[in-house]
Amino acid sequence: MNKVVKNAQEAIAGISNNMTLMLGGFGLCGIPENCINALVESGVTGLTCISNNAGVDDFGLGLLLKKHQIKKMISSYVGENAEFERQLLSGELEVELNPQGTLAERCRAGGAGIPAFFVPAGFGTEVAEGKEIREFNGKKHLLEHALVADYSIVKAWKGDTHGNLIFRHTANNFNQAMAMAGKITIAEVEELVPAGTLDPNQIHTPGIFVQRIFQASNLEKRIEFVTTSR
């Protein structure tokens, strides 16, 4: 039951070229930056990354993009990464854009064992191209398929040695759904505690979904935009 590994390098062992990864986070909030840094150092390439966004040029998934380690991005909001834009426009990067709610539900469905579902978002746009369309209650819906990954990599506020996770406030974002949708789930946590320490009523992700967990050594928390008022 003890799922603790020493560090990010040990946690990502087994991730190889051309695998599909899910990475939690929204903007720079709740991203598993330690594992991303370890992936950069590993030199793994040809990755398909499922993430709400692609980080920024010098942090998060932007670091993997910079070294051309990502082959395809399945994401929603990607507007803050100039390198992402350059690779997309030059044809170096394959991109599958999703409405944000659709992306979240595709991840949740993958973890719940639901192979596909119908959703109205995207009908009448480029998102609908090539997808089955059906009408429900007088409204057109698109068929969307669930997402699963070889590895899901998430970041939590607290976790225990059995892999139970608690996310803090909005840092829950995509992390909870993605933690359920990986064949192997890796969790980096800000605080790692002994099993039995966490209040069962506060746990967001049960340890059954998590195979590897470690306490992050680098807890850098960046802010994309600093907005102040007089």
Q: What is the pLDDT of residue 222?
A: 67
Contact 226, 201 (CB under 8 A): no
Q: What percent of the chain has pLDDT over 70?
A: 97
Contact 75, 100 (CB under 8 A): no
Full set of structural domains in the chain with CATH? 8-117+147-215 (3.40.1080.10)
The predicted model gives 11-21 an average pLDDT of 98
Q: What is the pLDDT of residue 2?
A: 80
Q: What is the pLDDT of residue 209?
A: 98
The predicted model gives 140-161 an average pLDDT of 98
Distance CA 174, CA 181 (A): 11
- The phi, psi pair for 103, rounded to 5°, reads -60, -45
Give DSSP secondary structure letters for 7-69.
Answer: SHHHHTTT--TT-EEEE--BTTBT--HHHHHHHHHHT--SEEEE-S---BTTBTHHHHHHTT-
Distance CA 86, CA 65 (A): 10
pLDDT in tens, 37-86: 999 999 999 999 999 999 898 899 999 999 999 999 999 988 778 899 99
Contact 164, 207 (CB under 8 A): yes
Distance CA 230, CA 225 (A): 16
Question: Please, which residues have CB within 8 angstroms of residue 31's CB and are 6 or more apart in sequence?
Answer: 23, 24, 25, 55, 60, 61, 155
